Amino acid sequence: MIVSMEQVSRPKRPARDRMSLIAILPLYVFTLLFVAGPLIYMLVLSFLSRAEVWGVVNQFTFRNYARIFEPIYLKTFGQSLKLAFTSTILVALIGYPFGYFMAKLSPKWRGRMMFFLIIPFWTSSLMRLYGWIIFFQANGVLDSILMGIGLTSEPLKILYTYPAVVVGMVYVLVPFMIFSVYSSAEKLDWSLVEAARDLGAGAVKAFLTISLKLTLPGLLSGVVLTFIPSMGLYFIADILGGNKVLLMGSLIYEQLMKAHDWPFAAALSVVLMVMTSLMIYLYRRVTKVKDLEGLI
C-alpha cells in the first residue's frame, strides 16, 4: 500500500496527466451531454414522424426531407439564400475597406477604433434594430428628412419591406466582417506592398496582387461569419420586415413553436447545419486555417 502510494507521488507524469484529465472532465461531460447530445437528437428527430395532434411518433420516414422540396418551402429557401447573398456581398463591400483602412492607422487609433466598434457590437442588437425602426417608420426620421429637403412629397414606407431587412442584416453583421478583415490586415507586412510599388506596380495592381491576396483569409472568414447567421437571424426579418419576408430561420421557428411539427423543423435545421458545415469546411480547404479569423 505504502509502496504504491510512493510510486504514484514520485514520478511527475502520472500525477500531471491525472490532473489534466480531471480538468477536462467538465468540458467533456458538458460538451457531450449538451452539444453532441442535442445534435444527435436533432438528426434522429428529423427521420421521425409527427404525431396526429402534438408530439413525435417513433416511426422512421424520409417525408420531412421530401417536404422541403414542396414549392412553398423551396421559395422560402430561395428567398433566404437571396437575402444571405445580398447581405454578404454588401457586408463585404462595406466591411472590407473598413477593416483594411483601420489596420493602416496608428496603433493608438487602431485601439480607439476597436473600442468604438465593440461598443455597438456589444449593445443589444434589438436596440440597434429598434433605432432603424424609428428611422424607417412612416413619417419617421428618414421621411421627415427627405420631405424636409423636398426629395419626396409623401412618406416612403420603407419599414416592413425587403430593403429594410437588408439594411438591418448588413448593419448587424458588418462588425463581424470588419473584425475578420482587420485581424488579417493587421498582420500584413506593408513592406511587401511598398516593394511592389517600388518595382513599378500601380496602386491597384499592388493591392490586388499583395494586399488582397494576403487578407483573403480574413475576407473569407468574414463571409462565412456573415453568411451563416444571415440564414438564421429570423428576428431581423421579423422586426424590420413584418411578416412579408420569410426566412429559413422564421420557417424553423414557425414549425417548432406554432405548427408544432418538430421532425420537420429538425429536418430544416439539419439542411441548414449541413450547409453551414460545408461552408466552414470549404473555408478551411481554401485558406488552410483551422480557426475562423477574428472570431474572438
Partner 1 sequence: MKNRTHFPHIYLGVIMVFMYLPILFVMIYSFNGGRSAVLWTGFSLDWYRELFRDSSIFDALINSVVLATLSSLCAAVIGTLGAVGLSRVSLRSKGVVEYLSTLPIMIPEIILGMIFLVFFSLLGLPFGMTTLLIAHTAFCIPYVLMQVKARLVGLDKSYVEAAKDLGAGELRAFVDITFPLIRPAIVSGMLLSFAMSLDDVIISVFVTGSNVNTLPIKIYTQIKTGVTPKTNALCTLMFLATLFLGLLSMFIGRSRKGSNKQPDATTNLNINEETGG
Shortest Å, Cβ 283 to partner 1 = 11
Site string for partner 1, 94-133 (x = CB under 8 A): x--xx--xx-xxxx-----x-xxxxxx-xxxxxxxxxxxx
The one segment of 57-65, 92-100, 149-157, 207-215 that binds partner 1 by CB under 8 A: 92-100
Q: By C-beta, is 17 or 70 nearer to partner 1?
A: 17
- Within positions 50 to 89, which residues make up the interface with partner 1, using CB under 8 A? none
- Within positions 134 to 153, which residues make up the interface with partner 1, using CB under 8 A? 134-135, 137, 139-141
What residues have CB less than 8 Å from 183, skipping those under 6 apart?
218, 293, 294
Radius of gyration of the chain (CA): 25
The one segment of 20-28, 60-68, 85-93, 147-155 that binds partner 1 by CB under 8 A: 20-28
Backbone angles phi, psi at 235, to 5 degrees: -70, -20
- Within positions 240 to 269, which residues make up the interface with partner 1, using CB under 8 A? 248-249, 252-253, 256-257, 262, 265-266, 269
What residues have CB less than 8 Å from 8, skipping those under 6 apart?
14, 15
Q: By C-beta, is 31 or 66 nearer to partner 1?
A: 31
Site string for partner 1, 35-54 (x = CB under 8 A): xxxxx-xx--x---------
Does residue 289 belong to the site contacting partner 1 (CB under 8 A)?
A: no
CA–CA gap between residue 15 and residue 8 (Å, rounded): 7
Does residue 202 belong to the site contacting partner 1 (CB under 8 A)?
A: no
**Residue of 83, 165, 245, 272 that binds partner 1 (CB under 8 A):** 272
Shortest Å, Cβ 146 to partner 1 = 15
Q: Are the beta carbons of 267 and 46 closer than 8 angstroms?
A: yes
**Residue of 171, 176, 179, 264 that binds partner 1 (CB under 8 A):** 171
**Residue of 79, 221, 292, 293 that binds partner 1 (CB under 8 A):** 292
The one segment of 67-75, 146-154, 208-216, 288-296 that binds partner 1 by CB under 8 A: 288-296
CA dihedral sign, ordered 277, 280, 286, 290 = negative
Does residue 232 belong to the site contacting partner 1 (CB under 8 A)?
A: yes
CA dihedral sign, ordered 209, 215, 217, 220 = negative
